[in-house]
């Protein structure tokens, strides 16, 4: 279930999503991505909220839209305009890493 309103109006808060974890986007292919890339889309990300010593806090799951620019940047954005977008270099070690691509969603009536 989508935990927040960050992807509204495309995907509503509480919607059920189906994630394809076999999307197979390699780092080499991402580096070659162009405007309108086949890799653009909505993805599920895993974010560790904090790390203390050897223990990692529970993982937070996020759904965001990814766009790959011609200059090699990865843009991560929400569809809801109240949230700002983020830009990452493809070589950045701390850039978000997708778990899978969102391929379907359903909302309550």
In this structure, what token pair is assigned to residue 93?
Answer: 């070690």
Higher pLDDT, 34 or 74: 74
C-alpha–C-alpha distance, residues 83 and 106, integer Å: 22
**Percent of the chain whose predicted confidence (pLDDT) is above 70:** 75
Q: Is residue 65 within 8 Å of 77, Cβ to Cβ?
A: yes
C-alpha–C-alpha distance, residues 98 and 96, integer Å: 6
Q: Is residue 95 within 8 Å of 30, Cβ to Cβ?
A: no
Peptide bond into 72 cis (omega under 30): no
In this prediction the pTM is: 0.73
Q: 101 pairs with which residues across the strands?
A: 20, 43
Which tens digit of pLDDT belongs to each residue from 71-102? 888 899 999 999 999 999 888 888 888 889 99
Burial class (CB in 10 A: 0-12, 13-18, 19+), 62: buried
Q: Is residue 59 within 8 Å of 52, Cβ to Cβ?
A: no
């Amino acid at each position: 279930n989508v935990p927040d309103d960050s992807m509204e109006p495309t995907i509503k808060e509480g919607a059920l999503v189906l994630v394809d974890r076999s999307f197979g986007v390699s780092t080499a292919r991402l580096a070659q991505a162009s405007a309108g890339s086949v890799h653009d889309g909505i993805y599920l990300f895993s974010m560790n909220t904090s790390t203390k010593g050897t223990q990692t806090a529970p993982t937070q799951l996020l759904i965001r839209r990814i766009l790959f620019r011609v200059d090699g940047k990865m843009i991560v954005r929400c569809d809801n305009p109240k949230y700002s977008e983020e830009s990452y270099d493809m070589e950045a070690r701390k850039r978000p890493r997708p778990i899978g691509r969102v391929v379907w969603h359903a909302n309550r009536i």
